[in-house]
Amino acid sequence: MDIGGTLREPQPENLDSFRWTCARALDGHGNRSAAELLAAIPADAGVDRYGAGGAVAALEEKMRTVLGKPAALFMPSGTMAQQIALRIHADRRGVRTVAFHPTAHLELHEDKAYQRLHGLVGLKIGDPRGLITIEDLRGVGEPLAALLLELPQREIGGRLPPWSDLEEQVAFVRAQGAALHLDGARLWECTPHYERSPAAIAALFDTVY
């Protein structure tokens, strides 16, 4: 904030008014009021009925197209979505073990709901401070229902594996008969690094959150 020709840190009580003076925003939809956001909704958007039809169906179709998948489903939370996806993979394969990095959201922030609610067995693989490697996957000594990969990995600094490593890991897991699930909460952050579209990245995986 420029006051009298000097740059000063805006005080917390002034942050809201300061934000409204900004002409550009790095993310989100800029500084639009609730009334402006409502006015931007098309008059014929329709309403959903218990999650079916209307704006929900339009959102699902948009995400299906963006990710290049045969179908998309809106869920109330990412936590719910990921557990459901892993449960489906486990039920289809008759295997209860799902593998993921030790710092996966599933392990750190969901109170082991995958175990308590769905009867899944979590297998943590890889160094908690590093990325999963092909050697880690080769060291798994039991059948897996699915491997969950988070791209990028938030808890270890937003790191991403090289694309060639990712392809090798995906091919190896598929050869073992397991599914691939992507925790894509920050999927759009991967696209500049990989120089690939969200659909191209999602194509490596059976399911994507």
pLDDT digits (tens, 9 = 90+) for 140-184: 999 999 999 999 999 999 999 999 999 999 999 999 999 999 999
If pLDDT is split at 50, 70 and 90, which confidence band does 2 have? very low
The secondary element (H helix, E strand) that includes residue 163 is helix 163-175
Fold of 75-208: Aspartate Aminotransferase; domain 2 (3.40.640)
pTM of the shown model: 0.82
Is 102 strand, coil or helix?
coil
Asked if residues 163 and 187 have their Cβ atoms less than 8 Å apart, the reply is no
Integer-rounded Cα radius of gyration of the chain? 21
Question: Where are the chain's structural domains?
Answer: 1-68, 75-208
Give the pLDDT of residue 13: 62
DSSP 124-140: E-S-TTS---HHHHHT-
Q: Compute how many other C-beta atoms are within 10 angstroms of the C-beta atom of residue 193.
A: 13
Q: Tell me the per-residue pLDDT of 4-55, one tens digit each, with 9 for 90 and over.
A: 555 555 565 666 676 677 776 665 666 778 898 888 888 887 888 877 888 8
d(CA 84, CA 86): 6
Longest CA pairwise span in the chain (Å): 69
Tokens coding 173? 């897991």
Mean pLDDT, residues 191-201: 97
